[in-house]
Amino acid sequence: MTQRNYKEKNVQEMNMEDLINTVSDDLKSYDKLKTLEGVKKEMSVGLFSNNLSERGLKAYIRLLELELQLATTREPIFHDSRGFGEYLAGKYAVLDHEEMHLISLSNKGQIISDDVVGSGTIENSAISVPLIIKILCLNGAANFIVVHNHPSGSMKPSKADLTMTDSIYNLSKLIKVHMLDHFIVGNGNYFSFAEHDLLGD
């Protein structure tokens, strides 16, 4: 089935990326509006009333509604990669720099802790796999997830992403803590290593 372009969707069907694109079409400044924060910055300088069409205004209001939902929604329990991936894609949508997070989970999938374990691209940051294992032990985690964002919006894992994931997975097996997934998120979308059979043996 062919995926519909955001211009063919109604506002309620759109994800964050679609909504940002819709507002950007009105403002003629897509390069500045890759994140929700970019949209809000443009709104703060007086473009709100002068440049938005009725559809653009609805998209902007929907963006704010989604942001409020994310801010007030209780953290979810991990049941499957799709549901958790969508949650993480929304949670980290506004980051304008790359971060790697380690999310420690209980044996029931409840979030114990969300720790930043790296900043900057995986290729250029000193992400310590032994440190990740140490944090898991200190948190008493039974399961865990790794997530990092691509501010560019690209969902394609790099060679460094794949290598890092294998290292974390293999070392976590030694301490019998289950790695459930590694997510890449950006612009309201997500990529799941587990869903693409890129996790583990």
DSSP per residue, 124-153 = TS---HHHHHHHHHHHT-SEEEEEEE-TT-
Q: What does the DSSP 8-state code read for residue 96? A: S
The single-letter code of the amino acid at 16 is: M
Residue 30 has a pLDDT of 47
Q: Which of 23, 93, 92, 91 is nearest to 52 (CA)?
A: 23
Query: Is 81-192 a CATH 3.10.580.10 domain?
Result: no
Q: 164 by DSSP, 3-state: which?
A: helix
pTM above 0.75, yes or no: no
Q: Which of 112, 114, 118, 147 is nearest to 131 (CA)?
A: 118
Q: Which residues contact 68 (CB under 8 A, 6 or more apart)?
A: none
Beta bridge partners of 189: 186
Q: Which of 56, 57, 121, 114 is nearest to 84 (CA)?
A: 114
Residue 124 has a pLDDT of 46
Residue 54 has a pLDDT of 86
Question: Average pLDDT per run of 10 along the chain, which is 201 residues long?
Answer: 71 78 70 56 55 82 72 68 88 80 91 85 65 91 93 86 91 94 91 92 66
Residue 70 has a pLDDT of 58
Residue 128 has a pLDDT of 80
Residue 1 has a pLDDT of 42
Name the residue ranges covered by the structural domains of the chain: 8-72, 81-192
> Which helix H or strand E contains 24, and what residues bound it?
helix 16-27
Q: Rounded distance, CA 39 to CA 30, Å?
A: 9
